[in-house]
Amino acid sequence: MGEEADAKDYDMVAGDSEGDEGRVLEWEVGLPSADDLIPLSQSLISPDLAYAFSIAPEPARTLLDVYRASQSTVSTLRRHPTSSLAAAALNFFSPFPSPSSVATDDPVVFEGEGDDAESGTIATVAIAGVSSCLPTEDPGDEHSSRALKRPRLVWTAQLHKRFIDVVAHLGIKNAVPKTIMQLMNVEGLTRENVASHLQKYRLYRKRKEGIPNEGSFSFDHLPHEPPAQMPMPYGMPSPPVPMPVFSIAFHPGHNGSMEMMPIVNHHQAAGAYHGFVSHHPNGGVIGDRQGDWSAANKC
DNA sequence: CTACTAATAT
DNA sequence: TATATTAGTA
């Protein structure tokens, strides 16, 4: 089993450059390449085989399982930094107990806050890989106060998109903070963060449903629920076809213009959030428009 | 006890 | 306004 889709070029987004140089490649040092790994989301053996050997069927791995696996992997790495490189990489990933990095990519942005960044200044932290503007300083270097306040999370367009995708992927009824948070797989993102955002999002949707007039303004994207045609090279196949997904491509870069997404590296540390298709099992959420959700996103 | 949600606070 | 925090509850 060595034939796997190229796990190399799955980060294709409208953006031109992706700043692959500054990426933390150290993460991959010593790790098996994607080609050597069996996707966590995939059963190790076929159901038939399992049955033949009286092996209890695997509980069907879900993205959540994959996520958890990746979490434990990361945790393990944290505990046993086998090399200074790994340590450095880890340090990069989580310089402090507060959120400042993402497991996969998405630029997580925090508002400069705390000491004296009243209003206006936004210390953006692009986690993607190129440490463009890192947090002003370590929150821990101030005083040995254990109770460090997390910086305010800024829901960037990308974060929000991820959020939307996940919410769309889960049904309305499954879209609860914890699950959303887990599927988003954004390091440092808390359940509270998501809960708060979800609350707002729900209100937003409620407002909208009252006015079936559609957003109108705003450069919305997502034409209208791509029926069944996946623009992606790897279109998410229909149910019957298993498809060994390890790291599917992301979404269509329906981002024609307007914004130059900062850094968009799509790399799944150990797999977690796969590009989702708006498969709303519960006919709940649909492609969202940015209506009012403009997100500050610049460095 | 955990997590969801609405309400409220910053 | 956007996000965080709290309170009440399932």
Protein CA A192 to sugar C1' C5 (Å): 9
Cα distance between residue A247 and residue A63, in whole Å:
12
Protein CA A163 to sugar C1' B3 (Å): 19
Give the pairing of strands A109-110 and A153-154.
Answer: antiparallel
pTM of the predicted model as reported, rounded to 2 decimal places: 0.49
Place of tokens 């994607």: A34
Cα distance between residue A190 and residue A197, in whole Å:
11
Can you say how many angstroms the Cα of residue A35 is from the centroid of all Cα atoms in its chain? 22
Q: Is A268:A34 a contact under the CB 8 Å cutoff?
A: no
Cα distance between residue A181 and residue A186, in whole Å:
7
Protein CA A287 to sugar C1' B4 (Å): 24
**A53: number of Cβ within 10 Å:** 8
Contacts of A132 (CB under 8 A, 6+ apart): A124, A126, A262, A263, A299
How high is the pLDDT of residue A142?
52
Q: Find and give the residue nearest to C2, measured CA to C1'.
A: A154
Reported as type and span, the H/E element at residue A115 is none
A153 phi, psi to nearest 5 deg? -80, 135
Task: Give helix A177-184 / helix A191-210 axis angle, nearest 10°.
Answer: 110
Cα distance between residue A134 and residue A151, in whole Å:
13
* Domains delineated in chain A: 42-78 (no CATH), 157-209 (1.10.10.60)
Closest CA to A60 of A36, A84, A44, A38: A44
Can you say how many angstroms the Cα of residue A46 is from the centroid of all Cα atoms in its chain? 29
Q: Residue A178 CB closer than 7 angstroms to strand B? A: yes
**A101: number of Cβ within 10 Å:** 21
Q: Find and give the residue nearest to B5, measured CA to C1'.
A: A199
A188 phi, psi to nearest 5 deg? 95, -15
Q: Residue A114 CB closer than 7 angstroms to strand B? A: no
Contacts of A34 (CB under 8 A, 6+ apart): A4, A7, A246, A247
pLDDT along chain A (299 residues), means of 10: 36 34 35 41 48 50 57 51 43 38 55 45 35 40 63 93 94 93 93 97 87 52 34 29 29 28 34 46 44 44
How high is the pLDDT of residue A72?
55
Protein CA A208 to sugar C1' B7 (Å): 21
A150 nearest nt, CA–C1': C4
**A227: number of Cβ within 10 Å:** 5
Q: Residue A158 CB closer than 7 angstroms to strand B? A: no
Protein CA A38 to sugar C1' C3 (Å): 39
Reported as type and span, the H/E element at residue A154 is strand A153-154
